[in-house]
C-alpha cells in the first residue's frame, strides 16, 4: 500500500482509497498511477510509460494524455499547479507528491468461509453427487451440463470438483475444447487430459498403464509434447478407453470436458466409446456445453447426446438462470457482506435476468463507475450505494458491451443489420418486419434468421406470425435483453428511424382494410421514427373505424393516445392538431354512451388546462 497525501494506492486489490472511501479505477488508469507512484520523483518519458503499459503494442502517445487527464480528475489535481502529476512538455511526466509505504487497509475483502462456494445450485450439485456415488457400483457416469453463455456451467463443475477434492479420494483431470481448434487439431482436449494424467502427481501411476494399454497414445503424447503431430489412425480408441479404465481402478477418475460444443469429431468419438463400453469402471465424465455452434460438430454432438440420453447412458443438467434470492447470495459472496445496500439485489437481478456472468459484469460496472463505493469505518469496510439504484442511469457494463460487440463483429454486415432490425422490437420480432426494415424478401430473411438462431445464441425461434395478406413468417426473441440493448444502441438514430418507418408502412400495406388491429403498433413505429403526424393520423383513422363499428371505448382510447402524442409536437403544430383530435372526441361524445361522453369532456378539460 502506497500513501500520498490523503490517498492510498492498494496494489493488492488494484484500487485507490481516499479518506476511507474506496475508488475503483479502470485497469489502465490504475496501471498508469501505479507506475507513476512507484517511480515517484523522477521524470518518466512517454516511451517508458507506453512500454510499461502496452508492451509489444504500438499505442499513440496522445492516449497517455487522455489517461493522465482522467487520473487528474480523480485525484482533484490541477495541471497548472500539480500536486501529484507534473507534465513536462514533449518529455514525459513526474509524480511529485511524496510517497510513503502504509499498512494495508483492514477491509471486508478478507475471505471468510461463509462466503466461499457458489450461490444456489444445490439441486444440481446434488445430482452430480448422486452420479458420483454410483461409481461405487462400478457404473460409469456421463453428465452433460448445458446452458447459455455465462449461466454458470464452469462455476458449477468447479464447485463440484472442489467438494470432491475435500471429501473423496479421486483423480480429476480437465480437457478444454477451444473455439476454432476442432478443424485444426483433433483430440485437443483429450491430449490435454492425457498430459495432465502423465504429469505429477499422477505420472507414476499413469505412465506404466499408458505404456501397457495404449502405447500408441503414449507415443502420440510424447510427440505432442515435442509439437510433432501424428496421424490419428494409429491411435485406437479402445486402447485409450482401456488406459482410462485402468486409471480408475485405484481410485475414481473424473474427466471434465469443458465447452464440448467446440470439440472435434474425434474427441466426441472418445466420449461415445467411453459411454458405451460395458466394462465396469469407476469413471465419470462431466461435460459442459454452451449454445451449439454452426458446423458438423454441432450435429455430431447433438446426435451423440441424443443417443446417450435415449439409451439411459447419460444425464443432462440444463442450467436455468438464478432466481432473485440466489442473485442476492451471489452479491453477498462477491462483496463479502451480508446486508446489501437497498435495492442492489433487485436491480442487478432485473438487469442480468439471473445470468451470473451478466450479474458479475454489472456489479463490476457499478463499482468502476462508483455507484457502489466501499467505505472504511471502525476498522472494517462496507459497500454502500452512492445513488439510489432505482434512480440511477447506470448504462451497460463496458465488458458486456465489448463481449457482445465482438460476437456481432464476427457476423457478415447483412447479418448484423438483420439483428439490429430485430432489436427495434421490445420483445419478439417477426421475420416479415425485419425484412421490411431491410427492404428485403421475407423468405430469405426468415432463412437467415433461422440460420442465425441455429448458429448463435443471441436469438431463438419463438413461434409463427401470420399477416392478413397471407404472409406467414416466424418470429424470434433475443436470448437476453442485454443483447437487444447493445444491438439497438449501436445503430445510428437515422437508420433506426428509417427502419421503423419501413415497418410502419409494411403494416399499413399488409393490414389494409383492418388497420384497427395494428393501429397502436403502427403508430408506435411512426412515433419512434419521428413521424408524429403520421402516428396521429393512423390513430385517428383507426378511431373513426372503431366508432363506425360501435366500439366507442376503443375509439376513445385511440384518440386519447393520439392526444398524448400531440403534446410532443412542436408548438406551431400542436394546438391545431390537438383541436382536430378534440373535435373527433366531441363527435364521439355526441354519438356515444354516457361513459365515453364523460371521458371526452374530461379530455377537453384537461387539454384546455394544459394549453
Ligand atoms: N452460482 C453461482 N454463484 C456465484 N457465482 C457464479 C455462479 N454461477 C456463475 N458464477 C460466476 O459467473 C461468471 C460466469 O460463470 P461461468 O464462467 O461458470 O459461466 P459458463 O456458463 O461456464 O460460461 P461460458 O458459456 O462462457 O463458458 C463467473 O465469474 C462465475 O464465477
Ligand atoms: Mg464455461
d(CA 592, CA 553): 9
The whole-number pLDDT of residue 106 equals 47
Q: Whose CA is nearest to atom 25 of ligand 1?
A: 149
| Domain co-membership, 393 together with 409 | no
Find the CATH number of the domain harbouring 227.
3.40.50.300
- DSSP reduced 3-state for 16: strand
Q: Classify residue 82: in a domain, yes or no.
A: yes
376 and 464 inside one domain: no
Which residues, judged by CB distance below 6 Å to any ligand atom, belong to the binding site of ligand 1? 118-121, 147, 149-155, 259, 290, 330, 356-357, 360
477 part of a folded domain: yes
Ligand 2 midpoint to CA 258 (Å): 7
Which residue out of 128, 155, 317 has the highest number of ligand 1 atoms within 8 Å of its CB and is therefore the one to mutate?
Answer: 155
- What is the model's pLDDT at position 305? 93
User: Looking at ligand 1, which residue's alpha carbon is closest to its atom 9?
Assistant: 152
Give the model's confidence band at 439: pLDDT under 50 very low, under 70 low, under 90 confident, else very high: confident
Is residue 78 located within the same domain as residue 187?
A: no
The pLDDT, as a whole number, for residue 585 is: 87
Q: What is the mean pLDDT of residues 385-392?
A: 72
Segments forming the whole domain that contains residue 88 = 2-99
Do residue 410 and residue 392 come from a single domain? no
497 and 594, same domain (yes or no): yes
- In this structure, the number of other CB atoms found within 10 A of the CB of residue 12 comes to 10
Ligand approaching nearest to the C-alpha of 148: 1
The answer to the question of residue 466 being in a domain is yes
Identify which ligand lies nearest to the alpha carbon of 145. Answer: 1
CATH of the domain at 39: 1.10.10.10
CA distance 574 to 586: 18
Residue 429 lies in a domain: yes
Q: What is the 3-state secondary structure (H, E, C) of 382-435?
A: EEEECCCCCCCCCCCCHHHHHHHHHHHHCCCHHHHHHHHHHCCCCCEEEHHHHH
Q: Which of 120, 128, 146, 154 to mutate to test the pocket of ligand 1 (most atoms within 8 A of CB)?
A: 154
Nearest-atom number in ligand 1 for the CA of 119 is 3
Contact (Cβ atoms closer than 8 angstroms) between residue 294 and residue 454 = yes
Q: What is the mean pLDDT of the chain?
A: 85
The reported pLDDT for the residue numbered 607 is 57
Q: Do residue 218 and residue 345 come from a single domain?
A: no
State how far the Cα of 566 lies from the Cα of 204, in Å rounded to an integer.
81
When comparing pLDDT for 47 and 407, which is higher? 47
Q: Which atom of ligand 1 is nearest to the CA of 290?
A: 25
Residue where one domain finishes, among candidates 318, 345, 380: 318
Specify whether 378 is located in the same domain as 469. no
Residue after which a domain boundary falls, among 398, 421, 449: 398
Cβ < 5 A residues, ion ligand 2: 153-154
Tell me the CA–centroid distance for residue 154 and ligand 1, in Å.
6
Q: How far is the CA of 154 from the centre of ligand 2 (A)?
A: 4
Ligand nearest to the CA of 147: 1
> Which residue lies with its CA nearest to atom 13 of ligand 1?
357
Centre of ligand 2 from the C-alpha of residue 83, in Å: 46
| Same domain flag for 95 and 149 | no
Please state the domain count of the chain: 4
Question: Which ligand number lies closest to the CA of residue 258?
Answer: 2
Kindly give the distance from the C-alpha atom of residue 218 to the centroid of ligand 2, in angstroms, as a whole number: 29
Q: Are residues 349 and 297 in the same domain?
A: no
Q: Is residue 236 part of a domain?
A: yes
Instruction: Choose one of 333, 363, 398: the last residue of a domain.
Output: 398
Q: Is 528 helix (H, G, I), strand (E, B) or coil?
A: helix
Atom of ligand 1 nearest to the CA of 157: 18
Q: Is this prediction's pTM over 0.85?
A: no
Query: Within 423-570, where are the H helices?
Result: 431-438, 442-455, 481-489, 493-510, 519-528, 532-548, 552-566
Is residue 104 assigned to a domain? no
Residues 40 and 132 in one domain: no
Q: What pLDDT is attached to residue 218?
A: 87
Check whether 375 has a pLDDT greater than 90.
Answer: no
Q: 512: cis peptide before it, omega within 30°?
A: no
Same domain, 229 and 311: yes
In a domain, 490, yes or no: yes
> Do 386 and 463 share a domain, yes or no?
no
Q: Give pLDDT tens digits for 222-271.
A: 877 666 555 555 678 889 999 999 999 999 999 999 999 989 989 999 99
The 10s digit of each residue's pLDDT in 483-534 is: 888 899 888 899 899 999 999 998 898 888 888 888 998 999 999 999 999 9
* pLDDT greater than 80 at residue 113: no
Find residue 3's DSSP bridge partners.
8, 100
Domain-located, residue 205 = yes
Amino acid at each position: 500500500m502506497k500513501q500520498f497525501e490523503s490517498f492510498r494506492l492498494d496494489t493488492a486489490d488494484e484500487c485507490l482509497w481516499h479518506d476511507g472511501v474506496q475508488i475503483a479505477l479502470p485497469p489502465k488508469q490504475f496501471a498508469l498511477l501505479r507506475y507513476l507512484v512507484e517511480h515517484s520523483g523522477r521524470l518518466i518519458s512517454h516511451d517508458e510509460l507506453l512500454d510499461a503499459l502496452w508492451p509489444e503494442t504500438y499505442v499513440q502517445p496522445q492516449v497517455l494524455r487522455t489517461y493522465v487527464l482522467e487520473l487528474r480528475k480523480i485525484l482533484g489535481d490541477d495541471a497548472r499547479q500539480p500536486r501529484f502529476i507534473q507534465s513536462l512538455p514533449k518529455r514525459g511526466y513526474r509524480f511529485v507528491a511524496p510517497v510513503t509505504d502504509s499498512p494495508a487497509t483492514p477491509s471486508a475483502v478478507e475471505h471468510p468461509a461463509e462466503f466461499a462456494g457458489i450461490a444456489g445450485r444445490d439441486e444440481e450439485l446434488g445430482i452430480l453427487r448422486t452420479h458420483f456415488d454410483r461409481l461405487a457400483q462400478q457404473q460409469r457416469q456421463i453428465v452433460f451440463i448445458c446452458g447459455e453463455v455465462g449461466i454458470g456451467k464452469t462455476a458449477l463443475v468447479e464447485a463440484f470438483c472442489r467438494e470432491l477434492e475435500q471429501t473423496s479420494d479421486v483423480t480429476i483431470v480437465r480437457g478444454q475444447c477451444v473455439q476454432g481448434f476442432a478443424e485444426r487439431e483433433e483430440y485437443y482436449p483429450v491430449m490435454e487430459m492425457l498430459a495432465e494424467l502423465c504429469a505429477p502427481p499422477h505420472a507414476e501411476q499413469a505412465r506404466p498403464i499408458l505404456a501397457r494399454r495404449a502405447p500408441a497414445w503414449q507415443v502420440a503424447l510424447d510427440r505432442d509434447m515435442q509439437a510433432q503431430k501424428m496421424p490419428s489412425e494409429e491411435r485406437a480408441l479402445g486402447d485409450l478407453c482401456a488406459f482410462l479404465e485402468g486409471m480408475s481402478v485405484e481410485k475414481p477418475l473424473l474427466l471434465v470436458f469443458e465447452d464440448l460444443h467446440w470439440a472435434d469429431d474425434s474427441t466426441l468419438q472418445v466420449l461415445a466409446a467411453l459411454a458405451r463400453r460395458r466394462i465396469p469402471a469407476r469413471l465419470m465424465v462431466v461435460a459442459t456445453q454452451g449454445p451449439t455452434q454452426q458446423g458438423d460438430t454441432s450435429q455430431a454432438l447433438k446426435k451423440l447426446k441424443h443417443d446417450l440420453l435415449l439409451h439411459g447412458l447419460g444425464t443432462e443438467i440444463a442450467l436455468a438462470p438464478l432466481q432473485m434470492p440466489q442473485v442476492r447470495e451471489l452479491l453477498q459472496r462477491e462483496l463479502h457482506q451480508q446486508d446489501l445496500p437497498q435495492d442492489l439485489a433487485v436491480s442487478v437481478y432485473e438487469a442480468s435476468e439471473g445470468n451470473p456472468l451478466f450479474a458479475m459484469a454489472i456489479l463490476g460496472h457499478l463499482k468502476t463507475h462508483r455507484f457502489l463505493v466501499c467505505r472504511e469505518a471502525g476498522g472494517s469496510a462496507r459497500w454502500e450505494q452512492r445513488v439510489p439504484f432505482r434512480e440511477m442511469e447506470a448504462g451497460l457494463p463496458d465488458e458486456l458491451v465489448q463481449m457482445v460487440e465482438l460476437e456481432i463483429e464476427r457476423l457478415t454486415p447483412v447479418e448484423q443489420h438483420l439483428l439490429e432490425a430485430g432489436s427495434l422490437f421490445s420483445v419478439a420480432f417477426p421475420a416479415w418486419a425485419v425484412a421490411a426494415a431491410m427492404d428485403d424478401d421475407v423468405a430469405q430473411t426468415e432463412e437467415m434468421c433461422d440460420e442465425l438462431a441455429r448458429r448463435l445464441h443471441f436469438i431463438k425461434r419463438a413461434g409463427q406470425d401470420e399477416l392478413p395478406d397471407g404472409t406467414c413468417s416466424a418470429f424470434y426473441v433475443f436470448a437476453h435483453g442485454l443483447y437487444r440493448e447493445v444491438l439497438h444502441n449501436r445503430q445510428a438514430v437515422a437508420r433506426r428511424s428509417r427502419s421503423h418507418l419501413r415497418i410502419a408502412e409494411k403494416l399499413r400495406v399488409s393490414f389494409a382494410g383492418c388497420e384497427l388491429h395494428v393501429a397502436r403498433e403502427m403508430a408506435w413505429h411512426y412515433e419512434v421514427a419521428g413521424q408524429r403526424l403520421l402516428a396521429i393520423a393512423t390513430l385517428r383513422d383507426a378511431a373513426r373505424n372503431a366508432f363506425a363499428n360501435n366500439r366507442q371505448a376503443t375509439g376513445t382510447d385511440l384518440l386519447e393516445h393520439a392526444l398524448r402524442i400531440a403534446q410532443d409536437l412542436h408548438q406551431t403544430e400542436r394546438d391545431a392538431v390537438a383541436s382536430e383530435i378534440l373535435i373527433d372526441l366531441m363527435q364521439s361524445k355526441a354519438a356515444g354512451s354516457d361513459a365515453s361522453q364523460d371521458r371526452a369532456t374530461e379530455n377537453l378539460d384537461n387539454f384546455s388546462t394544459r394549453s
